[in-house]
Structure 1
Amino acid sequence: MNANDLLSIIKKRRSVFPQQYNQEEITKDELSQIFEAANWAPSHKKTEPWRFIVLEGPSKDRFREYVKRVYVQGTPPDQLSDRKMNALIEKCDKSNKIVLINFINAEKNPEWEELAAVSMAVQNMWLMATALNIGGYWSSPSNVIANVDEFTPMQEGEKCVGVFYMGKYDGELTEGVRQSTDDKVKFLDY
Structure 2
Amino acid sequence: MELKQIIQNRRSVFPDQYNSKPISKQVIMELLEAANWAPTHKRTEPWRFKVLEGETKINLGVFLAEKFKETADKFSEFKYNKIKRNSKNAGAIIAICMERDPEESIPEWEEVAATAMAVQNMWLTATDLGLGAYWSSPGLIASIGEFFTLKPNEKCLGFLFLGYYDGPNPERTPNPIEDKVEWL
TM-score (norm 2): 0.95
State which of 29, 49, 54 in structure 2 corresponds to 1:52.
49
Q: Gapped runs of 5+ residues in structure 1?
A: none
Q: How big is the shift at 1:34?
A: 0.6
Query: Counterpart of 2:21 in 1: which secondary structure?
Result: coil
Write the letter of the residue equivalent to 1:166: L
Distance of 1:69 and 1:157 partners within structure 2 = 26
RMSD value, Cα: 1.2
Report whether the alignment pairs 1:7 with 2:4: yes
Deviations, residues 31-53 of structure 1 (Å, cap 9, x unaligned): 11111111111011000000010
- Sequence identity of aligned pairs in percent? 45
Structure 1 segment 56-67 matched on structure 2, within 5 A? 56-67=53-64
State which of 120, 124, 129 in structure 2 corresponds to 1:127.
124
Q: How big is the shift at 1:186?
A: 3.2
**Structure 1 residue ranges, 4+ long, deviating more than 3 angstroms after superposition:** none
Report whether the alignment pairs 1:181 with 2:170: no
State which of 123, 127, 141 in structure 1 corresponds to 2:138.
141
Q: How big is the shift at 1:75?
A: 1.4
Counterpart of 1:153 in structure 2 is 149
Q: Gapped runs of 5+ residues in structure 2?
A: none
Tell me, yes or no, if the aligned pair for 2:21 and 2:91 is still in contact at 8 Å.
yes
Most deviating of 67-76 and 96-105: 67-76
Write the letter of the residue equivalent to 1:85: Y
Q: How big is the shift at 1:187?
A: 3.3
Counterpart of 2:86 in structure 1 is 91
Report whether the alignment pairs 1:80 with 2:48: no
| Larger gyration radius, structure 1 or structure 2 | 1
Aligned pair count reads 182
Deviations, residues 16-61 of structure 1 (Å, cap 9, x unaligned): 0001000001111111111111111101100000001011112112
Distance of 1:60 and 1:84 partners within structure 2 = 17
Distance of 2:55 and 2:178 partners within structure 1 = 49
Distance of 1:170 and 1:84 partners within structure 2 = 24
Query: Counterpart of 1:101 in 2: which secondary structure?
Result: strand
Distance of 2:49 and 2:136 partners within structure 1 = 14
TM-score (norm 1): 0.92
Distance of 2:58 and 2:78 partners within structure 1 = 19
State which of 152, 165, 168 in structure 1 corresponds to 2:164.
168
Q: How big is the shift at 1:82?
A: 1.0
Tell me, yes or no, if the aligned pair for 2:65 and 2:81 is still in contact at 8 Å.
no
Counterpart of 1:34 in structure 2 is 31
